[in-house]
Amino acid sequence: MKRYFKFNQNDVVVLLTDIIDPVFHEEYGHFADQGVALMKKADKDNFIKEYLIIDCINDEIPNVEWFKSHYENGNGNLKGIYITGSGFDSFSIEHQWILNLKTLLSEIILDLKFNQIPPIVGVCFGHQILALAAGMRVDRNEKGLEIGMINMDLTKIGQNLFDGNTKLWISEIHNDIVYGQPPEDWSSLAKSDLCDNQAFYKPKTMITFQGHPEFHAGVAKKVYESFYKAGFINDTELYRVIETCNQNPNEGDLMASLMIQLFKNEI
């Protein structure tokens, strides 16, 4: 574990929660690389100077005191935490690293209330495991696989955050969803036909997305094709989801802009 990483000015810790597959990721990088690329593109004034990637599967996951010591109630060099997507189930009890991460996030959620932990972003798996850590239920989606470029309906709070937009396009590929109502101090930002909890937000504290803002069209199509080769979707479905990428915008950059604003303590 990179416990002795020297923090510079304005850093973000990226928690990588997936296997690093050199064959699949050689073109675009792994989930952490893709997330970092997205945030760097959105960070127009280079507010974040460094991104520390911690491999949650193979490295020792830091404890909550490690995050608190580098955040220093907002006065330290650690400005944010980003949790990636994953091919693993967030609710799995078969992998110790997932149980350890969930325990850490349960502690982090408590400390977020007292401004002792930097703002946190969760994407797909990250969205789900944060919800689990807060006491919500995550399970297989009874409505089935959500895949393709999805047009989400924004709530009133979501519309306010996204400059009055009522809908937003995001790349999605997931069998699992978060069920139920979020904690009372969290706000729901969006929903879709197959998923009621597409995004959560807590001011100055947290923002999460069920979809993949980091998946540009090239990445999305490669992931969809991998699902086809694995037999999860058929020829017709593959054509449909590829066309959703070809015919619709991808607004992950708007979501990344909010991530940077969160790390700046602006939203």
Residues involved in catalysis: 124, 212, 214
Q: Which helix (H) or strand (E) holds 148?
A: strand 146-154
Cα angle, residue 170 at apex, residues 93 and 84 outer, rounded to 5°: 35
Number of Cβ within a 10 Å radius of residue 220: 25
Cα angle, residue 17 at apex, residues 170 and 140 outer, rounded to 5°: 60
Contact 158, 199 (CB under 8 A): yes
Instruction: Name the token pair of 253.
Output: 């950059």
Strand partners, 167: 153
Distance CA 187, CA 157 (A): 7
Helix (H, G, I), strand (E, B) or coil at 146: strand
List Cα–Cα distances, 133 to 74, 99, 110, 148, 235, in angstroms. Answer: 23, 10, 10, 28, 37
Determine whether 218 is exposed, middle or buried from the number of CB atoms within 10 Å of its CB (0-12, 13-18, 19+). exposed
